[in-house]
């Protein structure tokens, strides 16, 4: 089983939103590499939820993949910021994953701590300039992150 990290700005969608809803459709991804990562996800896999563009930024909880290959409905919605005029129901360009809340951490594993713990070669998240919103997490990195979860989780 693979492990993943998915980023969201908490002002747009936070771990609290996910905890309240329990299940979400992770739509609106408009980067081909991120989309392709989602396409390789499998039900049951662990996903770290990362708050980006926040103070502080970092890993705040976990999700579980429950479905992949879901056609992203926002690509057809002309009122959506994720509307894609080149996409059609007959030939959709974008799909997404359905995720379930697993747990919210009592604290954050912030980016400075992650940068102190991992090298850019170990974990793409800590590379300067990395903006990809869906990332694979190597098994050795996932194990170390799980060991860093704040007490009480």
Return the closest-CA partner of residue 27 out of 19, 15, 35.
35
Return the closest-CA partner of residue 14 out of 144, 132, 108, 112.
108
- State yes or no: pLDDT of 153 exceeds 70: no
pLDDT tens-place string over residues 24-44: 999 999 999 999 999 999 999
pLDDT of residue 129: 85
DSSP H helices, the chain, are 15-21, 32-40, 111-117, 139-147
pLDDT of residue 151: 74
- In sequence order, the β-bridge partners of residue 70 are 96
Q: How confident is the model at residue 57 (pLDDT cuts 50, 70, 90)?
A: very high
Tokens of 25: 């459709």
Please give the model's pTM, rounded to 2 decimal places: 0.94
**Does an H or E element contain 65, and which?**
strand 58-71
């Amino acid at each position: 089983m693979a492990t993943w990290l998915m980023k969201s700005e908490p002002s747009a969608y936070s771990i609290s939103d996910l905890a309240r809803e329990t299940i979400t459709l992770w739509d609106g991804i408009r980067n081909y590499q991120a989309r392709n990562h989602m396409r390789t996800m499998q039900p049951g896999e662990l996903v770290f939820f990362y708050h980006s563009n926040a103070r502080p930024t970092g890993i705040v909880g976990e999700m579980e993949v429950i479905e992949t290959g879901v056609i992203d409905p926002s690509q057809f919605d002309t009122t959506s910021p994720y509307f894609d005029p080149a996409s059609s129901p007959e030939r959709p360009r974008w799909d997404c994953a359905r995720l379930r809340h697993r747990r919210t951490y009592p604290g954050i594993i912030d980016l400075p701590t992650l940068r102190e713990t991992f090298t850019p070669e170990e974990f793409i998240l800590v590379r300067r300039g990395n903006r990809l919103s869906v990332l694979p997490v190597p098994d050795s990195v996932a194990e170390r992150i799980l060991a860093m979860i704040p007490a009480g989780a």
